[in-house]
Amino acid sequence: MSTAPSNKFLPSPKTVAILGCPFSGGQSKLGVDKGPIHLVEAGLIDQIEGLGWRVVFDGHHQFEDIPAHPLAPSPPPNDISSNDSAVATLDASLAKLKNPLFVARVCESVADAVQAHAESGQLPVTLGGDHSLAMGTISGTLRAYDQACVIWIDAHADINTIESTDSGNIHGMPLSFLLGLNPPAPNPDSILAKYEWVSRLPSERLVYIGLRDIEKGEKDILKKHNIKAFSMHEVDRYGIGKVVEMALDHVNPQRDRPIHLSFDVDALDPSVAPSTGTPVRGGLTFREGHYICEAIHETGLLVALDLMEVNPALADAESVRQTVTVGCSLVRSALGETLL
């Protein structure tokens, strides 16, 4: 059953734009690019239409025509022309990044698409794909709604900088680019210059729910920039209802800002959503995840939704079916499906 509190930002008829983004370049595990295809094939479009939404879906985005030139390796330290140690450190940091040009170009393309749909009065629902795509989805939202806030549901903070990342996987870094935490590009040819299109999200307009696997460098970043985060400790202590209320009080105290909800399925416990790239025990229950989506819908402020990191290649067929089914159910809850 669905309920439809009026959305303060969307015109009638209320319209969802599905952006299928079969992209895996922000991390190294194969299969996450198949997530959007499985979600759509599971009947998600019909399910959304059943809630009273008009749905626009023009097929999955194709990224084959976007050049994926690899980053040329940095010269060895003895060959660096500048004696400036900061330059040498920056070069070494950039050399760790995996597929940085490809990720930048794909995410910029996604940003353009999200912006176009949002400015047309539609609610973009982006199906990933890995979570590096959020650089694009949130940038697109901020171009259309410059006062938007972000509620980030995830087991991981995804806020590593180019200096703090160990893996170089950019799906663990999107928020560092969105918050402007990386150093400026030293020149127009730098890899960092390819990310200058990324919109800036003020740190006070970001809140996390569900964190439980945070690297030390990320903990330092969260503390340094006073970024609000509700880990699973707070969920256990206060209950999910109170946590969502406190999260909204932080990023949207007057309940007047547009909300971008970015949901990584690994926020859920692996017993609920096993088919994902970086599962971590002790996560959100089925109902806790759905409550978050239901509560955000009830605000009437949702303007964009991401569902990320469904990976059909990492589990048996039944686990894949379970994860895809949960993913579809989360989207429906964020768009108005209720228990009664």
- What pLDDT does 31 receive? 85
Of 33, 213, 218, 266, the catalytic one is 266
Q: Residue 81 has what pLDDT?
A: 40
pLDDT of residue 58: 87
Instruction: Judge whether 79 counts as a catalytic residue.
Output: no
CA 25 to centroid of chain Cα atoms: 14
Active-site residue 309, yes or no? yes
Per residue in 22-47, pLDDT (tens digit) is: 988 788 787 888 899 999 999 999 99
Helix (H) or strand (E) holding 302: strand 302-308
Residue 191's CB: how many other CB atoms inside 10 A?
19
pTM for the whole structure: 0.92
Residue 56's nearest CA partner among 99, 13, 112, 110 is 13
In this prediction, residues 174-203 reach a mean pLDDT of: 96
Answer yes or no: is pLDDT of 184 > 80: yes
Q: Are 21 and 60 in contact (CB under 8 A)?
A: yes
Q: Which of 192-206, 224-238, 311-325 has the lowest mean pLDDT?
A: 311-325
When pLDDT is averaged across residues 145-155 and rounded to a whole number, the result is 98
The structural domains of the chain, with segments of one domain joined by +, span 15-66+117-335
72 has pLDDT over 60: no
Confidence (pLDDT) at 86: 59
- CA 213 – CA 36 distance, rounded (Å): 25
Q: Decide if 154 is catalytic.
A: yes
What pLDDT does residue 87 have?
Answer: 58
Query: What is residue 98's three-state secondary structure?
Result: coil
Average pLDDT on 56-85 reads: 58
- The tokens describing 128, both together, are 């990933």
Eight-class DSSP state of 199? P
Which architecture, in CATH terms, is 15-66+117-335?
3-Layer(aba) Sandwich (3.40)
CA angle, corner 239, sides to 218 and 302, nearest 5? Answer: 70
Binding-site annotation, residues: 131, 154, 156, 158, 264, 266
Q: Which of 38, 60, 131, 290 is catalytic?
A: 131
Lowest-pLDDT choice from 66-75, 174-183, 272-281, 301-310:
66-75
Q: What pLDDT, on the 0 to 100 scale, is given for residue 93? A: 75
| Active-site option among 91, 288, 294, 309 | 309
Specify whether 158 is catalytic. yes
Q: Length of the chain, please?
A: 340
Q: How confident is the model over 224-230, as a mean pLDDT? A: 98
Residue 89 pLDDT > 50: yes
Mean pLDDT of the chain: 91
pLDDT at res. 123: 98
Which range has highest mean pLDDT (63-67, 75-79, 290-294)?
Answer: 290-294
Binding-site members for Mn(2+) are 131, 154, 156, 158, 264, 266
The per-residue pLDDT for 25 is: 79
